[in-house]
């Protein structure tokens, strides 16, 4: 079969199936259940609950305002903090760069609840920071606290996106500009930093979406008055007002679609300055002001990170009513008491967390690889419509998505298969990010290398593309794992009893004011996240080829 005038007939059918995999998955897991829920439950009458003067309307508007404020300010702060980190890491080569890069990225790989507890430990009452710098207590509550949490969580994402783009900037373009008397700043914003800034903006859009839809984090650190629209949707759902929950989730999706659509449209039209050659930049100017400022800034970031995370660990070791450190909180976690109050043992929650993370990361990475290979076989062009569709799970309220999955599939699924629904929900949230990472990783592999492998009767995907994109492969596994263990809203809704993972256990413990054990669970989650991060990075390094 053949390709005629751009119309693909049978010969490329498998590639089209591959390309459609994420769309099919999202349709099945996110869109179809959502539409089923909307059908019969949607009513425009709730519009008055946004525009009216009733007390409920005022509460709804406050939720929307909180979401917008937290989203916009967090995105701005994440961009401002993360961009310099990304530029520094992308621009310079130096010893220990990989280690520094990994350390900077760590917060994004942590569940947001850990970040909340780390900030509470690091800046809250009685913390080392508050005794030295009294104003730092201001950062552990209210809107500032929410911004610190969201920025600490999302700035690494902005840095990661920026760094990847800056690394790929074409050295020869910069050299050409310097021969045309371009200033350092002009070369930066018009050439080598341009793609980094735009990619960083992509990270900021994600920061906006994650912060806008924040649920547990703003409530814990900001107090009850900081509830977001997502929290309000959860409230409506818990009070059995499903039509209202659905109406507000559609409202949320519409608000989130605006920045997502603007960014997608803009980035799809952007002409990149990506390098096509293999020229390397001249040696790093270790004594330049920019380099020294960059390294100082990066060290400040890592120092803050280490301080906050170690505060969490120390808090988990604090014995209530005593100044000595001990393992009381951990002893409580392994006691029988925990099972009766939360519904699962700590060992069970750890196993669940590892299981969901591993299955989700593997599944999403596999979908991403199948998709990108199909895309390459079809000529590697832009599939804007289907690629835009991959962002749908980001704009559907996770609370509603979890509930929709439960309603549509949960009724027919046997009780012991609830884990399938949890993994499906987590995977659909991970797809937008993981697929972008895989796409970027594969974009640097010349198509001719895959074709050469085909001509030589090899298996290009396994022998050429995956080994060459090993770093993207490992990174996508990391992101998949991180998003799985960090996803809270739909997991909280779906998981109960023996299916509860650590994040839900952590939220439940703080809900019943058992803060010490909650810090201990946070520490266990922290250790799991960092171990997974290190193991997957090592896996990526060793990955050579399947044959």
Partner 1 sequence: MPFVEISALGKSYPGGFSLRDIDIALERGQILTLMGPSGSGKTSLLRNICGLDTPDSGSIMVGGTDMTHLPVRRRNIGMIFQDLALFPHMTVYDNIAYGLRSMRVPEREARERVRDLSEMLGILDLLNRYPSRISGGQRQRVAVARSVAPSPPLLLLDEPMSSLDSQLRENVRSEIKSFAKKIGLTMIYVTHDRREGFYMGDKAGLMFNGVLSTLRSPEDIFSAPEDEKSARFLGYNVMEDGGERFAFYPTDFEFSDAEPHLEGTVMSSGFEGDIYRMHVSMPDGNSVQLWLPGNRAGSVPGQGSRVSFSITRKERISGFHNSKEY
Least distance (Å) between residue 443 CB and partner 1: 15
Q: Do 91 and 191 contact (CB within 8 A), yes or no? A: no
Nearer to partner 1, 334 or 378 (CB): 378
Measured from the CB atom, is 254 or 455 closer to partner 1? 455
Kindly state whether residue 416 participates in binding partner 1, applying the rule CB under 8 A: no
- Taking CB under 8 A as the binding criterion, the range among 26-34, 247-255, 311-319, 463-471 that sits at the site for partner 1 is 463-471
**Is residue 452 near partner 1 by the rule CB under 8 A?**
yes
Among 179, 411, 456, 513, binds partner 1 (CB under 8 A): 456
Among 39, 95, 320, 457, binds partner 1 (CB under 8 A): 457
Q: Does 534 bind partner 1 (CB under 8 A)?
A: no
Q: Residue 175 or 463: which CB sits closer to partner 1?
A: 463
Q: In terms of CB distance, is 280 or 324 closer to partner 1?
A: 280
Q: Which of 417, 455, 531, 534 binds partner 1 (CB under 8 A)?
A: 455
Polymer length of the chain = 547
**468 is an interface residue for partner 1 by CB under 8 A:** yes
d(CA 201, CA 120): 28
Nearer to partner 1 by C-beta: 337 or 451?
451
Of the candidate spans 21-29, 51-59, 267-275, 444-452, the one that interacts with partner 1 by CB under 8 A turns out to be 444-452
173/459 Cα distance (integer angstroms) = 36
Distances (CA, A) of 529 to 42, 485, 515: 40, 8, 20
448 makes contact with partner 1 (CB under 8 A) = yes
- Nearer to partner 1 by Cβ, of 271 and 456: the residue is 456
Provide the CA 2 distance to its chain's centre, in angstroms. Answer: 40
Cβ at position 306, least distance to partner 1 in Å: 35
Question: Which of these segments, 29-37, 52-60, 313-321, 451-459, binds partner 1 (CB under 8 A)?
Answer: 451-459
Member of 198, 467, 471, 498 binding partner 1 (CB under 8 A):
467
Q: In this structure, is the dihedral angle defined by the CA atoms of residues 20, 26, 29 and 31, taken in order, positive or negative?
A: negative
CA end-to-end distance (rounded Å), the chain:
30
User: Rounded to 5 degrees, what are φ and ψ at 205?
Assistant: -65, -45
Q: How far is CA 327 from CA 313, 344, 346, 480, in A?
A: 11, 20, 15, 32
Which one of 58, 183, 239, 449 is in contact with partner 1 (CB under 8 A)?
449
Determine, following the binding rule CB under 8 A, whether residue 52 of this chain makes contact with partner 1.
no
Among residues 486, 521, 215, the alpha carbon closest in space to that of 357 is found at 486
CA-to-CA distance for 274 and 286, rounded, in angstroms?
A: 25
Residues in contact with partner 1, shown as a per-residue x/- string from 266 to 285 under the rule CB under 8 A = ------------x-------
Rg (CA), the chain: 24
Q: Which of 132, 224, 324, 544 binds partner 1 (CB under 8 A)?
A: 544
- For residue 36, count other CB atoms closer than 10 A to its CB: 13
Per rule CB under 8 A, is residue 382 in the interface with partner 1?
Answer: no
Helix, strand or coil for residue 181? coil
Contact between residue 301 and residue 111 where contact means Cβ atoms under 8 Å apart? no
Q: From residue 112, give the alpha-carbon distance in Å to each of 118, 147, 229, 512.
A: 10, 12, 18, 19
Residues 248 and 232: beta-carbon distance below 8 Å: yes
- Least Å from the CB of residue 18 to partner 1: 17
3-class SS at 318? strand
The reply on whether position 541 binds partner 1 by CB under 8 A is: no
Q: Does 380 bind partner 1 (CB under 8 A)?
A: no
Query: Which of the ranges 84-92, 242-250, 416-424, 460-468 carries the binding residues for partner 1, by CB under 8 A?
Result: 460-468
Residue 404 CB contacts under 8 Å (≥ 6 apart), including other chains: 33, 34, 36, 37
Q: In the complex with partner 1, which residue's Cβ is closer, 96 or 544?
A: 544
Which of 270, 306, 531, 545 touches partner 1 by CB under 8 A?
A: 545
- Residue in 12, 191, 156, 23 with CA at minimum distance from that of residue 83: 156
Run of H or E residues at 4: strand 3-4
4 binds partner 1 (CB under 8 A): yes
- Output 280 or 322, the one with its CB closest to partner 1: 280
Q: How far apart are CA 157 and CA 513, in angstroms?
A: 32
Shortest reach from residue 263's CB to partner 1, in Å:
28
What does residue 320 show for φ and ψ, rounded to 5 degrees? -55, 130
24, 293, 296, 454: which one binds partner 1 (CB under 8 A): 454
User: What is the Cα 389 distance to its own chain's centre?
Assistant: 17
For residue 379, how many other CB atoms are within 10 A of its CB? 12
542 touches partner 1 (CB under 8 A):
no
Residue closer to partner 1 by CB (options 6, 321) is 6
Residue 336 lies near partner 1 (rule: CB under 8 A):
no
- Reduced to 3 states (helix: H, G, I; strand: E, B; else coil), residue 261 is helix
Minimum distance between the CB of residue 392 and partner 1, rounded to whole angstroms? 28
CB atoms within 10 A of CB 497: 11
List of residues contacting partner 1 (CB under 8 A)? 1-6, 11, 278, 446, 448-449, 451-459, 463-464, 467-468, 544-545, 547
């Amino acid at each position: 079969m053949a390709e005629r005038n751009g119309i693909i007939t049978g010969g490329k059918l498998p590639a089209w199936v591959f390309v459609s995999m994420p769309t099919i998955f999202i349709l099945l897991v996110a869109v179809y259940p959502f539409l089923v829920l909307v059908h019969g439950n949607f009513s425009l009458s709730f519009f008055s609950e946004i525009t009216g003067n009733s007390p409920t309307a005022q509460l709804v508007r406050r939720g929307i305002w909180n979401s917008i404020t937290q989203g916009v300010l967090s995105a701005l702060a994440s961009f401002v903090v993360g961009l310099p980190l990304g530029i520094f890491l992308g621009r310079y080569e130096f010893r220990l760069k990989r280690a520094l890069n990994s350390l900077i990225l760590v917060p994004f790989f942590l569940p947001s609840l850990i970040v909340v507890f780390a900030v509470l430990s690091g800046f809250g009452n009685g913390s080392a920071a508050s005794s030295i710098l009294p104003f730092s207590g201001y950062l552990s509550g209210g809107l500032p606290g929410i911004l610190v949490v969201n920025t600490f969580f999302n700035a690494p994402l902005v840095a990661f996106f920026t760094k990847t783009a800056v690394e790929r900037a074409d050295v020869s373009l910069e050299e050409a500009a310097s021969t045309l008397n371009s200033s350092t700043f002009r070369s930066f914003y018009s050439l080598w930093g341009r793609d980094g800034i735009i990619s960083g903006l992509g990270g900021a859009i994600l920061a906006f979406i994650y912060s806008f839809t924040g649920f547990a984090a703003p409530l814990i650190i900001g107090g009850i008055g900081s509830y977001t629209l997502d929290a309000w949707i959860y409230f409506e759902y818990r009070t059995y007002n499903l039509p209202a929950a659905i109406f507000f989730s559609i409202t949320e999706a519409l608000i989130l679609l605006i920045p997502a659509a603007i960014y997608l449209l803009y980035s799809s039209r952007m002409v990149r300055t990506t390098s096509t050659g293999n020229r390397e930049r001249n040696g790093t100017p270790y004594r330049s002001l920019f380099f020294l400022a960059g390294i100082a800034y990066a060290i400040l970031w890592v120092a803050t990170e280490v301080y906050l995370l170690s505060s969490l660990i120390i808090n988990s070791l604090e014995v209530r009513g005593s100044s000595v450190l001990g393992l009381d909180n951990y002893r409580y976690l392994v006691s029988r008491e925990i099972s009766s109050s939360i519904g699962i043992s700590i060992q069970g929650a750890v196993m669940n967390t590892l299981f969901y993370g591993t299955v989700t990361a593997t599944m999403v990475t596999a979908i991403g690889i199948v998709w990108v290979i199909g895309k390459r076989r079809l000529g590697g062009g832009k599939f804007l419509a289907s690629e835009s569709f991959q962002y749908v799970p980001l704009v559907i309220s996770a609370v509603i998505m979890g509930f929709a999955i439960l309603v549509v599939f949960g009724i027919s699924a046997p009780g012991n298969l609830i884990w399938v629904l949890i993994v499906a929900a987590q995977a659909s949230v991970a797809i937008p990010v993981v697929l972008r990472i895989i796409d970027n990783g594969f974009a640097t592999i010349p198509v001719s290398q895959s074709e050469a492998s085909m001509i030589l009767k090899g298996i290009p995907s396994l022998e050429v593309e995956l080994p060459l994109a090993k770093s993207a492969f490992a990174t996508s596994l990391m992101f998949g794992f991180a998003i799985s263990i960090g996803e809270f809203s739909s997991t909280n809704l779906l998981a109960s009893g023996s299916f509860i993972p650590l994040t839900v256990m952590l939220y439940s413990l703080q809900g019943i004011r058992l803060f010490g054990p909650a810090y201990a669970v946070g520490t266990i989650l922290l250790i799991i996240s960092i171990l997974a991060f290190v193991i997957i990075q090592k896996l990526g390094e060793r990955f050579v080829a399947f044959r």
